[in-house]
Chains A and B, each alone.
Chain A
Amino acid sequence: MNRRELLKSLATIPAVGALFYGWYKKSQVDTLLKKAIHSEVSLNAYNPIVDKNCSGDKPLRIGIIGAGARGKHLIEAAGFIHPEKVDKWKKETIQDKNTNRHEEYLKQEDLNLQLTGVCDVFDINAKNAKEAGANINRGGSEDEMGVAPKRYKTYKELLAANDIDAVIIATPDHWHGTITIEAARAGKHVYCEKPMTLTVPETFEVVKAVKENGIVFQLGHQNRQNESYFKAKEAFEKEIIGKVNLIEVTTNRNSPGGAWVHDIHPDANEKNIDWEQFIGSAPQHEFSLERFFRWRCWWDYSTGLSGDLFTHDYDAMNQILDLGIPHSAISSGGIYYYKDGRTVPDVLNSIFEYPDREFSLIYSASLASNKKRGRIIMGHDGYMDVGGKLKIFADKGSTKYKDDIKNGLISPDIPLYSYSPGQKQADAITSATEQYFASRGLLYSYHGEKRVNSTHLHIKDWIDAIRNNRQPACDIDKGFEEAITAHMGTIAYREKRKVFWDPDKQKII
């Protein structure tokens, strides 16, 4: 072979060299850009609390009060799944070998719990919760079951039981306060769904009962476990977006389920629902399946948008910014779309002022439009878009980034920092409401690359706190701030006036 042959064979090699040289130069420029940003935005890795005693020597015995839709999810997150759900998952796996939700569920940490008591005013819910509680091997109908938990007809009987250490409360809102107070007095630790209370007076009583009895109280804001929020908190503290002056949080839903028009169980009737116990201290009303299954639509049992959905956003912002209770609140809105007899508004706008912190918090909600408006913290130097993902953008008019923007090192259109937990993971999230919660970091969190149900992490945090005698992530003080803020929004709407918080007298005026 001669030299000419060789040259012809290798003639295109310089092109390969040119490509690699170009790639090298380009990555040099990219690294330089990244370095410039990193010197401005350097956030540490998230370090969760590490407890010594996580599994406990002996199982902790829990009871569930209110085992409806949310209650079912909570006991699932605690490790008690209904066998028929596993059957369904197994069927899905047979149809599509690549989905295995049962296997994924089995990976959820065993918290060493026993479900020993169940209380629900609807017989079918109670039966299902009993069956889930007996499913100690987390298997399907054909697997071996353990002892079923005892069903109590009333929550009082459940709280009097000796074989229950802690209770999960997932009743309608009008029962949260009363049951938490009685549980605390009975010495049971409490995990209570949001919002903490229906009324202002009972809020103070709940705090008193929890503190006096020294129980571990966790409020059900599972966003507390989301890694993006830890990053956002750090970014705020490092003043990456400069001086914050406005925070805007929103609810954007547009489906019957999202607007609390939940399905009515086909077998539900006056015989298998204890209507009197459901009503409790709420105004008397004749038996109504609508009110029973769609209770969030009536002030009698619900705190409406402010308590049911704003509290998630408020607590997220409280977690990031340490908001505390606002100085004042105004609200307006109305029942503009769902003319179904509801008394709570489906459009609500509230503004909370924090003059000491020199910023306002705006909450704007619609149950009849899906236009995503996000959850934004606005500062002079940039803004943060906080959800399941965290994105931080520099502001065009920023003082801090002025030179970097001028030199082309930072572009206001490209995130300065973007954090997406478990970025390489693929999700198949289906329903619109699930999508909504996922985008707000309320469904899943990621630890490392592993997707974890954030409600499970929140329950785990509560259990670990009980075993290690510490306060959980959303403790009674945070719960108090959440409840008072939500009530201020609600009172402002219902009484059509501006309300103020008097910190000295500890009173809404």
Chain B
Amino acid sequence: MITKMGGNKYSNLQLFWLVTLRVIIGWHFLYEGLIKLSNPNWSSYGYLMDSKGFLEGFYQMLAANPERIEVINFLNIWGLIIIGFSLMLGLLTRPSIIAGIILLISYYLSHPPFIGLTYSLPMEGSYLIVNKTLIEMTAMAVLYVFPTSKVIGIDRLVFTVK
């Protein structure tokens, strides 16, 4: 059967792993959001101030203002939660993937693992240019071109009922 979205046809095994990838990335986003939401002292301030690379000044400028940082914290927490739900449930997945990729790009560029840059916040593992953020972002791009939410996900209801 050919699905209505994107014209992709998946074998069961392909579908299983694509959905799994979508769900675990969603899980990661959702948990990152929830854990920040439940910690009243969490702030992106330290992370932003620790920025390095060519956009360092931009990120530190973002962090410099207490009111602005509140807005950034709010957007980040709820962005993570909404994207997480969306990926896990398969609801409006495509715009969420785009939003998620934008978030990940901004994380990546604030702490690029480039030669000669070191960070005071600890990072696990060793990276050269490619880090887990970049891999997760690439995986999301894969999910974007191999959509599954209209097969397994609430999008199936949303887009077929009408």
Residue numbers of A with Cβ under 8 A of B are 1, 5-6, 8-13, 15-16, 19, 23, 27, 96, 98-99, 423-426, 428
B38 touches A98 (CB 8 A): no
- On chain A, the residues within 8 Å of B31 by CB distance are 19, 23
Q: How far is the CB of A425 from chain B (nearest CB, A)?
A: 6
| A426–B19 alpha-carbon span in the complex (Å) | 40
B102: CB under 8 A from chain A? Answer: no
Q: How far is the CB of B122 from chain A (nearest CB, A)?
A: 13
Q: How far is the CB of A95 from chain B (nearest CB, A)?
A: 11
Q: How far is the CB of B20 from chain A (nearest CB, A)?
A: 9
- On chain A, the residues within 8 Å of B152 by CB distance are 8-9, 11-12
| A8–B15 alpha-carbon span in the complex (Å) | 12
| A96–B41 alpha-carbon span in the complex (Å) | 27
| A354–B22 alpha-carbon span in the complex (Å) | 64
B45 touches A19 (CB 8 A): no
Q: How far is the CB of B83 from chain A (nearest CB, A)?
A: 13
B103: CB under 8 A from chain A? Answer: no
- On chain B, the residues within 8 Å of A426 by CB distance are 43, 45, 63-66, 69
20 residue pairs bridging A and B, Cβ less than 8 Å apart: A1-B157, A8-B156, A9-B152, A9-B153, A9-B155, A9-B156, A11-B19, A11-B153, A12-B152, A19-B30, A19-B88, A27-B38, A98-B64, A98-B67, A99-B64, A99-B65, A423-B41, A425-B66, A426-B64, A426-B69
B153 touches A12 (CB 8 A): yes
| A99–B152 alpha-carbon span in the complex (Å) | 49
| A425–B161 alpha-carbon span in the complex (Å) | 49
A-B contact sample (12 more), CB < 8 A, given A12-B153, A23-B31: A5-B157, A5-B160, A8-B156, A9-B154, A12-B23, A12-B88, A12-B89, A16-B30, A423-B43, A424-B70, A426-B45, A428-B64
A15 touches B67 (CB 8 A): no
Count of A-B residue pairs with CB < 8 Å: 67
A1 touches B69 (CB 8 A): no
- On chain B, the residues within 8 Å of A8 by CB distance are 151-152, 156
- On chain A, the residues within 8 Å of B130 by CB distance are none
- On chain B, the residues within 8 Å of A5 by CB distance are 156-157, 160
Residue of A at shortest CB range from B30? Answer: A19
| A80–B68 alpha-carbon span in the complex (Å) | 29
Residue of A at shortest CB range from B87? Answer: A12
B34 touches A98 (CB 8 A): no
Per the 8 Å Cβ criterion, residues 12-49 of B in contact with A are 19, 22-23, 26-27, 30-31, 34-35, 38, 41, 43, 45
- On chain B, the residues within 8 Å of A98 by CB distance are 64-65, 67-68
Q: Which of A13, A15, A27, A424 meets B41, CB within 8 Å? A: A424
> Could you give, for residues 96-116 of chain B, a 1 whenever the CB lies within 8 Å of some chain A CB and a 0 otherwise?
000000000000000000000
| A6–B34 alpha-carbon span in the complex (Å) | 28
Q: How far is the CB of B89 from chain A (nearest CB, A)?
A: 6
B90 touches A23 (CB 8 A): no
B27 touches A19 (CB 8 A): yes
> Could you give, for residues 40-81 of chain B, a 1 whenever the CB lies within 8 Å of some chain A CB and a 0 otherwise?
010101000000000000000101111111100000000000
Residue numbers of B with Cβ under 8 A of A are 19, 22-23, 26-27, 30-31, 34-35, 38, 41, 43, 45, 61, 63-70, 85, 88-90, 151-157, 160-161
Q: How far is the CB of A426 from chain B (nearest CB, A)?
A: 5
Q: How far is the CB of A96 from chain B (nearest CB, A)?
A: 8
Residue of A at shortest CB range from B34? Answer: A23
- On chain B, the residues within 8 Å of A10 by CB distance are 154
| A424–B71 alpha-carbon span in the complex (Å) | 12
Q: How far is the CB of A100 from chain B (nearest CB, A)?
A: 9
| A57–B35 alpha-carbon span in the complex (Å) | 51
Q: How far is the CB of A104 from chain B (nearest CB, A)?
A: 10
Q: Which of B63, B65, B88 meets A15, CB within 8 Å? A: B88
> Which of A15, A23, A423, A425: most chain B Cβ within 10 A?
A15
B38 touches A12 (CB 8 A): no
Q: Which of A15, A27, A424 meets B43, CB within 8 Å? A: A424
| A156–B38 alpha-carbon span in the complex (Å) | 61
Q: Which of A6, A9, A12, A16 meets B19, CB within 8 Å? A: A12
| A12–B85 alpha-carbon span in the complex (Å) | 10
| A428–B68 alpha-carbon span in the complex (Å) | 13
Residue of A at shortest CB range from B151? Answer: A8
A16 touches B66 (CB 8 A): no
| A6–B26 alpha-carbon span in the complex (Å) | 21
The 8 closest A-B pairs by CB, nearest first: A98-B65, A9-B156, A9-B157, A428-B64, A426-B66, A426-B45, A426-B69, A423-B41
| A182–B148 alpha-carbon span in the complex (Å) | 85
- On chain B, the residues within 8 Å of A13 by CB distance are 89
- On chain A, the residues within 8 Å of B63 by CB distance are 426
Residue of B at shortest CB range from A418? Answer: B41
| A99–B60 alpha-carbon span in the complex (Å) | 13
- On chain B, the residues within 8 Å of A12 by CB distance are 19, 22-23, 88-90, 152-153
> Which of B151, B152, B161: most chain A Cβ within 10 A?
B152
- On chain B, the residues within 8 Å of A11 by CB distance are 19, 152-153
| A96–B62 alpha-carbon span in the complex (Å) | 11
- On chain B, the residues within 8 Å of A9 by CB distance are 90, 152-157
- On chain A, the residues within 8 Å of B34 by CB distance are 23
Q: Which of A15, A424, A425 meets B23, CB within 8 Å? A: A15
Q: How far is the CB of A394 from chain B (nearest CB, A)?
A: 21
A16 touches B43 (CB 8 A): no
| A107–B161 alpha-carbon span in the complex (Å) | 58
| A23–B84 alpha-carbon span in the complex (Å) | 14
- On chain A, the residues within 8 Å of B19 by CB distance are 11-12
- On chain B, the residues within 8 Å of A425 by CB distance are 66
Q: How far is the CB of A8 from chain B (nearest CB, A)?
A: 6
- On chain A, the residues within 8 Å of B66 by CB distance are 425-426
Q: Which of A1, A27, A423, A428 meets B161, CB within 8 Å? A: A1
- On chain A, the residues within 8 Å of B155 by CB distance are 9
Q: How far is the CB of A419 from chain B (nearest CB, A)?
A: 11
Q: How far is the CB of B110 from chain A (nearest CB, A)?
A: 16
| A424–B22 alpha-carbon span in the complex (Å) | 33
| A507–B155 alpha-carbon span in the complex (Å) | 86
